[in-house]
Amino acid sequence: MKLKWIFLTLVFTMATVLTGCEPILALNPQGPQAETQTNVIWISIITMSIVLIVVMAILITVLIKYRSSKQRDDYEPPHIEGNPIVESIIVGFPIIIIIFLSIITVKTTYEVEATPEKYNDQEPLVIYASSSNWKWHFSYPEEDIETLNYVFIPEDRPVEFKLYSFGPITSFWIPQLGGQKYAMADMVTTLHLAADNPGEYWGRNANFSGEGFADHQFDVTVLTQKDFDQWVEDIHQNEEPITEDTFNKLLEPGHLGKRAFTGTHLEFSPAPEGEHAGHHHGDSDSKHDEYTGHHHDDNQSEHEDEHAGQAVR
């Protein structure tokens, strides 16, 4: 009787506490990429729950059926041989589960790494999202505007976020629109997202990057295409151009509020892609040599050719 009341008290307490919890944003998708990832999460949860229920049922059965009992001193338990059917189930089912989850994971990974299928016929909106300690800079090269710590995007249109960092590695994450992706200092990574409904969403850096990490956040607003175009027009009418000096001050460590500018910092501080990439993904060998400081000497080349000829003879 006492165990019953303890159990009921525990259930009631958990129900009371969990009632006050906010909904898990990752399980409330507002875009096709987030919906795909949410489905994978639920499939994984259901699969693991089935495994847990079966294991617990077997455990309880074994504990009850084979529990210790009083026997005479000379009692010897019967010898039991292995059961091939049971052993096949024990080995086979985990393998099947792993294969099942692996196929789903690989398939959905390719899906979320590309433009959402239903938006393939649309031109994506390209936004460069760069992080610094501890701010987010959003550059719209086509619209020729830049925002700080907030981003506006249109609904029902694919968005390509080009991610990189002016400091340590960070992770760009909007839970209701898709999964997170790293932003690094020497290369650009691309995150494909889209929003199905207008609204206010929340984003943040999901990778620890120093003392200001806790407040390294940004706001996401999804508008209709008409309202988005009007917002771009308002920025051009009301905001000042961004300059190199202003941008350098924004890069200084610290927290700032929301700001907007006309123009983008890409004009004087381009993203690390192409010839500017840290991995030297330039368009020609000459650009690569110029970046790395390597120079070819014609006399040295002729000297090497002469030695090569002597070696052949």
Question: pLDDT, tens digit, for every residue of 221-258?
Answer: 999 999 999 999 999 999 999 999 999 999 999 999 99
Cα-only R_g, the chain:
29
What is residue 295's predicted lDDT score, i.e. its pLDDT? 42
Prediction pTM value:
0.75
Q: Which residue has the tokens 């089912």?
A: 93
Structural domain includes residue 13? no
Residues 134 and 267 in one domain: yes
CATH of the domain at 235: 2.60.40.420
Residue with tokens 């390719």: 110
Least confident stretch, 73-82, 96-105, 167-176, 233-242 = 73-82
pLDDT value, residue 114: 92
Left, alpha or beta for 193 (phi > 0: left; psi -120 to 50: alpha)? beta
35 shares its domain with 171: no
128, part of any domain: yes
Position 308 scores a pLDDT of: 40
Domain presence at residue 198: yes
Query: Are 232 and 165 in the same domain?
Result: yes
Look at the chain and report how many structural domains it folds into. 2
pLDDT digits (tens, 9 = 90+) for 105-118: 999 999 999 999 88
Shared domain for 132 and 262, answered yes or no, is yes
Confidence band for 42, pLDDT divided at 50, 70 and 90: very high
- How high is the pLDDT of residue 220? 97
For residues 140 and 197, membership in a common domain is answered with: yes
Domain assignment present for 268: yes
Tell me, yes or no, whether 98 and 135 share the same domain.
no
What is the dihedral angle through the alpha carbons of 278, 281, 287, 292, rounded to the nearest 10 degrees?
A: 30
Q: Range of 41's domain?
A: 27-64+84-113
- Shared-domain flag, residues 169 and 205: yes
What would the pLDDT profile of 128-155 be if each residue is shown by its tens digit?
Answer: 999 999 999 999 999 999 999 999 999 9
Residues 150 and 35 in one domain: no
pLDDT band per the 50, 70, 90 thresholds, residue 178: very high
Residue 313 inside a domain? The answer is no
Assigned domain for 100 exists: yes
Q: Same structural domain for residues 245 and 159?
A: yes
Q: Across-strand partners of 220?
A: 151, 201
Mean pLDDT calculated for residue range 166-195: 94
Please check the confidence at residue 13 and state whether its pLDDT lies above 90: no
